[in-house]
Amino acid sequence: MSMNKKRIAFTVFALVLVVAAVVGFFYVQYKKTHISTDDAFIEGTVYTVSARVNGTVEQVLVDDNQFVKKGQLLVVLDREPFDKKLKQALAMEEAEKQRLKEIEAALLAQKRKIQAREAELNRRLTERKELKALVKARTAELKAKEARFEQAKLDLQRAENLYKKGVIPKQKYDRALTLYQTALAATEASGELKRQAELKLKGFEKVIAQTKAALKAEQAAYKRIQASIKAQKGLIKRAHAVVEEARLMLSYTRVYAPSDGYVTKKAVHRGEQIKAGQPLLAVVPLDGVYVVANYKETKIESIKKGMKVKIKVDAYPDLTLWGRVDSLMAGTGATFTLFPPENATGNYVKVVQRIPVKIVITEGLSDKYPLRIGMSVVPTVLVR
């Protein structure tokens, strides 16, 4: 009887060893192809909504944990000081525009002055041309008179010689003298007319020079006004920029939701004085959550991008999610902490580091099981 008990005990022990060995073998094989960690959490984008201008809170239109839509109005600041600045900027812009109109009117008037000067110059040039023609005509007339005078002078000299010799009567001599005197008077008169025409032409040249100088001055004034218009347009552009900035600052008195999501960390109240950059609340969208799993560095070699991942959520034991490895962080989690470890000391103790792995969820999400940022999960990477 004692021998039978020993045999049974040995058989049971042997079976237990075999079962343990088989289970251990399959467990080892499972661990090789299923890499899991409980150091994993749900992560997602958290939009921190901050004030962009200093001001007084007039309205807070949301509460903590309230769902909001993208573009929904969250907070309203007192807009009165910004309205005032915008009105001042608009008034300044309008004044600059009015000044531009005045300068443009001056430019138009100056253009008319130039046109009048050009017409005057053209008229003067035409008159000068006529005077030159007159001088030319007077010169030709004088030459003709001088020729007749020379002929009359010769005739008088012959008549005088013949009269002295008694060849011709005194009557013919007197007629020759009269013709001479008439030709002399005509020549002198023609010379005077030519001199007057030349003097008038000379005086006209001065008038034309003065007209040209006046035209040049008017043209220079026109260019100065054009430069003033260009400068004024620059002032208007700057004034418009001030208006746009004032309008933008006014728009910042209304704070909108940057995304669909839930309001969290609300730290703003009606009547509060806030400053630009001050966080007011956060908006957390839950439709784009993912998993960050911190795997031991000894396991990272087997984890590759694109591998399938089975995910269990601590809060929902019945829920199984599926995902894939999206990326591995470029360093260990400890490296990117606020105070990374300093290992250059004599009492260094080696610790296995963990590397964050981003896992995107591809299947299993349900409104029945909403995932919250920070939830603990257990992801298992299925190593191929």
CATH code of the domain containing 89: 1.10.287.950
**pLDDT attached to residue 346:** 58
230 with 102, same domain: the answer is yes
Q: Is the confidence at residue 27, as pLDDT, over 60?
A: no
173 with 295, same domain: the answer is no
Higher pLDDT among residues 11 and 87, named by residue: 87
**pLDDT attached to residue 134:** 82
Report field, pTM of the whole predicted structure over 0.75? no
Name the least confident of 8-12, 240-244, 273-277, 290-294: 8-12
Q: Where is 326: in which H helix or E strand?
A: strand 316-328
**pLDDT attached to residue 177:** 84
Name the least confident of 89-103, 146-160, 317-331: 146-160
CA dihedral 162, 163, 169, 170 (to 10 degrees): 140
As a whole number of angstroms, the distance between CA 246 and CA 230 comes to: 24
Query: Tell me, what CATH number does 312's domain have?
Result: 2.40.30.170
Q: Is the confidence at residue 31, as pLDDT, over 60?
A: no
Name the least confident of 22-26, 166-170, 332-336: 22-26
**pLDDT attached to residue 26:** 55
Residue 77: count other Cβ atoms within 10 Å of its Cβ: 24
Is 164 domain-assigned? Answer: yes
Q: Is the confidence at residue 351, as pLDDT, over 70?
A: yes
276 with 292, same domain: the answer is no
Q: What are phi and psi of 36, to 5 degrees?
A: -125, 165
**pLDDT attached to residue 202:** 83
* CA 295 distance to own-chain centroid: 47
The DSSP annotation for 115-174 comes to HHHHHHHHHHHHHHHHHHHHHHHHHHHHHHHHHHHHHHHHHHHHHHHHHHHTSS-HHHHH
Cβ-Cβ contacts under 8 Å for 268 (sequence gap 6 or more): 57, 60, 75, 274, 280, 281
154 with 259, same domain: the answer is no
Cβ-Cβ contacts under 8 Å for 33 (sequence gap 6 or more): 382, 383
R_g (Cα) of the chain, nearest Å: 56
**pLDDT attached to residue 2:** 62
227-252 mean pLDDT: 96
Q: How confident is the model at residue 176 (pLDDT cuts 50, 70, 90)?
A: confident
245 with 256, same domain: the answer is no
Separation in Å, CA 173 to CA 145, 149, 150, 181: 21, 16, 17, 12
CA dihedral 334, 335, 337, 343 (to 10 degrees): 70
Residue 374, token pair as written in the block: 């920070």
The number of domains in the chain is: 3
Is 131 domain-assigned? Answer: yes
Is 228 domain-assigned? Answer: yes
Q: Which residue reads 């006004």 in tokens?
A: 225
Question: Residue 380 pairs with which residues in a beta bridge?
Answer: 36, 310
Domain residues for the domain of 271 are 55-79+252-282
Cβ-Cβ contacts under 8 Å for 159 (sequence gap 6 or more): 168, 172, 173, 175, 176, 177
100 with 210, same domain: the answer is yes
Is 181 domain-assigned? Answer: yes
Q: Where is 346: in which H helix or E strand?
A: none
266 with 315, same domain: the answer is no
Is 5 domain-assigned? Answer: no
For the chain, percent of residues with pLDDT exceeding 90:
54
197 with 296, same domain: the answer is no
Higher pLDDT among residues 184 and 225, named by residue: 225
221 with 312, same domain: the answer is no
Q: What is the pLDDT of residues 262-313, one digit of tens each?
A: 999 999 999 999 999 999 999 999 888 999 999 998 888 888 999 999 999 9
328 with 293, same domain: the answer is yes
**pLDDT attached to residue 8:** 76
172 with 211, same domain: the answer is yes
**pLDDT attached to residue 18:** 74
Is 7 domain-assigned? Answer: no
**pLDDT attached to residue 125:** 86
Residue 107, token pair as written in the block: 């430019």
As a whole number of angstroms, the distance between CA 66 and CA 262 comes to: 5
238 with 191, same domain: the answer is yes
154-161 mean pLDDT: 85
Is 174 domain-assigned? Answer: yes
Query: Tell me, what CATH number does 266's domain have?
Result: 2.40.50.100
Helix 170-251 and helix 80-165, axial crossing angle in degrees, nearest 10: 170
Is 20 domain-assigned? Answer: no
